[in-house]
Amino acid sequence: AQKVTQAQTEISVVEKEDVTLDCVYETRDTTYYLFWYKQPPSGELVFLIRRNSFDEQNEISGRYSWNFQKSTSSFNFTITASQVVDSAVYFCALSEAGKLIFGQGTELSVKP
């Protein structure tokens, strides 16, 4: 069965620190897609990135970067120079036939 594990339940950092959120997945599919979403305290779910299983190139978007490694079934998310506005719950997700399977989420708290 497909599964997404985010082992870090809560992370607390001080502003300007770098932080990495871990995501490990399980799937038997050879073609699959991985996602990261951000859920700020307001509750809405904000799409951050989609990555397909054939593209292992790392991606950088501003202070955000993603490291996809098929060999270890991981799709980790790094925030560089964190800011208070980054405080949120971050979800990693795996697609299965168009449906999303979410990890348990990592609550990131960035303190000033």
Partner 1 sequence: SAVISQKPSRDICQRGTSLTIQCQVDSQVTMMFWYRQQPGQSLTLIATANQGSEATYESGFVIDKFPISRPNLTFSTLTVSNMSPEDSSIYLCSVDLFAGTGSTDTQYFGPGTRLTVL
Q: Which residues contact 44 (CB under 8 A, 6 or more apart)?
A: none
Q: How far apart are CA 22 and CA 5, in angstroms?
A: 8
Contact window for partner 1 (CB under 8 A) among 15-23, 44-52, 62-70, 71-79: 44-52
Q: Is 99 in the site for partner 1 (CB under 8 A)?
A: yes
The reply to whether 2 sits near partner 1 by the rule CB under 8 A is no
Q: Which of 25, 35, 75, 90 touches partner 1 (CB under 8 A)? A: 35
Residue with tokens 């990890």: 103
Binding of residue 12 to partner 1 (CB under 8 A): no
Positive or negative CA dihedral for 95, 57, 13, 26?
positive
* Site residues, partner 1 (CB under 8 A): 33, 35, 37, 42-47, 50, 52, 91, 95, 98-100, 102-105
